[in-house]
Amino acid sequence: MTQDTTPQVLLNPEFHVGPDLAGWYAVGGGDGLRTAMADPKACLTTIEASGLRGMGGAGFPTSRKWGMLAERDAADKVIICNGNEDEPGTFKDRVLLETSPHQVIEGGLIAALATGANYLYYYINPHHMKGLAAMRRALEQWLVDDLFQDMQKALGKSMHIYVVESSGLYIGGEETAVISSIEGGFPFPRVKPPFPVESGLFGKPTIINNVETLSNVSHILRNGADWYQNLGIGKAAGTKLYSLSGDVLRPGLYELPMGTSLHDLVFIHGGGMLLGKEFKAVFTGGPSNTLLTKKDLDVAMDFDSVRERNSRLGTGAMIVISEGTSIVRKVTEYMDFFAKGSCGQCPPCKSGTFQIARILERFSTGDSTESDLAALENLCKILPGCGRCALIDGAVTVVESSLETFRDEYLAGIQRS
């Protein structure tokens, strides 16, 4: 993996000290937290000015989420750091948890100061064994550290931090499923409203932040909002971790300025297409969004610019597809993933993902007919909005988009049979 751009925050090897708190302090760790402790109220302003947004996929401004929690008048407030990461093609949070757990924890403590939260949960996918172990070791070190004692004084109440294992299921990453899971149940998504910030974990006001989001926080507090804002390209702020995979020469995790173009990611950082094959499309993470195609190579990969192309940046996963790889086979693979990942609460999602997967399987094995294509299109029309969470919507989006853009690949399947 080559990194030829200088501004590295999260992937800066300097900060990859593992679960070693002294090592973390040695590279400037703790400074951000001290800044926050000096003036907790200023945190929100700093984060707002930095332009930090939710890196879990939605891109919701972090300061607004924190602000909503800060406004709640409650004795107990909860922040959950979501490290369930299980989408195909996304592999950033596991790296952060493993290589720099103190970065994640300090970010959470600053968030607690900014919002007045006194419960902090790290909800981690048990499949990321190394990350989970690193977080547990790191947390033990914080709990006996003086800075943590001082932080509680600044907060004005005692701070409870837990590392909990998620179910390891894809659906367990959905906001309300995270809450169900920590409460001890199966990770069933819940109907919104009430939103978690109104009534979340055990009925307490709760917000959920992604691992990558919280990892940025201590650096912002330490180096200032302007510094972070200026790391991005154009209006976009900061850096982004892009999980690059698929038919490129050098797949891997890249931290680049937010707003780097898709072309640069694939052809400069990723080393270009594998064996020089033609670029065909990108599934963005993940992968439940509209496909980006050749005409989108110039897109700046920040939340707003990608949305202008009717797609989403999502987790920053970019699964690159060349002319040597079949879109139908890929979509079939992802649909199979969604069908297996559906929690089964909402019948349209449970049966719908299953039916679409079956039909796609026929396309990818050459057994499809014209009526299969019609059925697929019909399902794409009637299913969206039928689930309490967005799983079915994302699944339909990717099928619908592939049908629209790569219809000839579907038709080729019919002609063959």
Q: Name residue, tokens 């040695």.
A: 26
In sequence order, what are the beta bridge partners of 161?
120
CA distances from 74 to 200, 203, 407, 413 (A): 12, 11, 53, 58
Task: Return the residue of 250, 294, 307, 381 that touches other proteins, per CB under 8 A.
Answer: 250
Rounded Cα distance, 188 and 17, in Å: 36
- Interface with other proteins, residue 126, by CB under 8 A: no
| Min separation Cβ 210 and other proteins, Å | 23
Decide whether 24 or 170 has the Cβ nearer to other proteins.
170
13 in contact with other proteins (CB under 8 A) = no
Q: In degrees rounded to 5, what are phi and psi of residue 318?
A: -125, 105
Q: How far is the CB of 178 from other proteins (least distance, A)?
A: 24
Residue 22 as a binder of other proteins (CB under 8 A): the answer is no
Count of CA atoms in the C-beta half-sphere (13 A) of 200: 28
Paired with 293 in beta bridges are 281
191 is a contact residue toward other proteins (CB under 8 A) = no
Cα separation, 377 vs 77, in Å, equals 45
Minimum Å distance from CB 307 to other proteins?
A: 29
Q: In the 8-state DSSP scheme, what is residue 72?
A: -
Phi then psi dihedrals of residue 17, to 5 deg: -95, 0
Nearer to other proteins, 326 or 402 (CB): 326
Q: Tell me whether residue 230 or residue 322 sits nearer to other proteins (CB atom).
A: 322
Q: Which stretch binds other proteins (CB under 8 A): 59-67, 146-154, 208-216, 323-331?
A: 323-331
Binding string, 349-378, against other proteins, x = CB under 8 A? ---------------xxx------------
Q: Decide if residue 86 touches other proteins (CB under 8 A).
A: no
Residue 121: CA atoms inside 13 Å, Cβ hemisphere, count?
23
Rounded Cα–Cα distance for residues 182 and 243 (Å) = 27
Scanning 5-13, 53-61, 119-127, 406-414 for contacts with other proteins by CB under 8 A, the matching segment is 406-414
Q: Is there a contact between 85 and 128 (Cβ–Cβ < 8 Å)?
A: yes
Site residues (vs other proteins, CB under 8 A): 247, 249-251, 274-275, 277, 323-326, 328-329, 333, 336-337, 340, 364-366, 409, 412-413, 416-417
